[in-house]
Amino acid sequence: MIGRVAALLRAVAGHEPNGASTTDLARTAELARPTAHRLLSSLATEGLLDRDPKTGRWSLGPELFLLGSLAAERYDITELAHDILRDLARETGESAFLSARRGDESVCLAEEEGSFPLRSHVLHVGLRLPLGVASAGLAILSHLSEREIDDYLSSVDLAASWGPEHARAAVRERIEATRVAGYAVNPALLVPGSWGMGAAVFDHRGSPAWALSLTGVESRFPAERRPLLGKLLLQQAHRLSRRLRERSFN
């Protein structure tokens, strides 16, 4: 039951700010529509969800805001990362993003638009993607232990949902390339012509809990420029990791 409720809450969050219908949410959470409707109604009664009386679309409710505001002091690092995202966007001209690891997914938490007029529009705040999909999730996955990576890749079939480029062997190759370079590269594997690069950010225990990433059109990521972008990402990821360690010890 708890897993179903969690799946529905994540599904609603993935459709913000416009909300979603019961049918769409049931499909996303892989639940029967009557079951989804019953759970959604119960969540609304508790204030965790809202339902628009005109459209019937569900959105996150006020009780989640209250709960989230209490958890933010412990888990939200967007304030610590704000100037870092701004510096990345200014130095590169690309859009910069902060993502967090949540279980087997990466979730985009914040963004800073770059000055270059053409943007990829792949990532946006609130978007959830499986680890190993997109540069942020690949950067995080690549810094997990071998056992964690084996367990994860054996439990998911990324190729079924994201295409043959995300078969286990292909993901493994990108993990090794990420470990060698220190940063991850997504060469337009999600959307044609849209590239991304990411670097992991570590918590005070040394675990890859977040990632910084840059996205843009393919012409902005030529082979001769990628090492420079990677170096900038690693520098800023180290800067944010250091801030997080200092906050934990204060």
Query: For the domain that residue 42 is a member of, what is the CATH number?
Result: 1.10.10.10
**Total structural domains in the chain?**
2
Per-residue model confidence as pLDDT tens digits over 31-71: 899 998 999 899 989 889 999 888 999 998 888 877 776 56
Question: Do both 28 and 94 map to the same domain?
Answer: no
Residues 64 and 112 in one domain: no
pLDDT tier at 13 (50, 70, 90 boundaries)?
confident
Query: In terms of domains, do 153 and 52 share one?
Result: no
Residue 249 scores a pLDDT above 70: no
Residue 201 has pLDDT above 70, yes or no: yes
Q: Is the confidence at residue 119, as pLDDT, over 80?
A: no
Identify which has the larger pLDDT, 242 or 121.
242
Is 148 in the same domain as 121? yes
Binned at pLDDT 50, 70 and 90, residue 233 comes out as: very high
Q: Which residues contact 66 (CB under 8 A, 6 or more apart)?
A: none
Q: What is the 3-state secondary structure (H, E, C) of 122-166?
A: CCCCCCEEECCCHHHHHHHHHCCCHHHHHHHHHHCCHHHHHCHHH
Query: Is there a single domain that holds both residue 154 and residue 182?
Result: yes
pLDDT in tens, 164-200: 999 999 999 999 999 999 999 999 998 888 999 999 9
Q: Are 114 and 202 found together in one domain?
A: yes
> Mean pLDDT for the chain?
90
Residue 238: per-residue pLDDT: 97
**Final residue in a domain of this structure, among 49, 69, 89:** 69
| d(C-alpha 58, C-alpha 37), whole Å | 10
Q: Which one of 33, 53, 69 terminates a domain?
A: 69
pLDDT band at 117 (very low <50, low <70, confident <90, very high): low
| pLDDT for position 16 | 80
- CA-to-CA separations, 126 to 59, 97, 98, 171, in angstroms, rounded: 13, 11, 11, 24
Of 50, 69, 88, the residue that ends a domain is 69
Least confident residue range of 65-74, 136-145, 153-162: 65-74
**Separation of alpha carbons 107 and 157, rounded Å:** 19
Tracing tokens 């012509």 back to the chain, one arrives at 193
Is residue 123 domain-shared with residue 27, that is, in the same domain? no
224 and 154 within one domain: yes
Are 39 and 82 part of one and the same domain? no
We report the CATH number of the domain holding residue 125 as 3.30.450.40
Statement to judge: residues 230 and 148 lie in one domain: yes
d(CA 100, CA 150): 21
Which range marks the domain in which residue 35 is found? 2-69
pLDDT in tens, 64-87: 877 776 565 555 688 889 999 999
Strongest mean pLDDT among 66-75, 107-116, 139-148: 139-148
Max mean pLDDT among 5-9, 10-14, 232-236 falls in 232-236
Residues 131 and 233 in one domain: yes
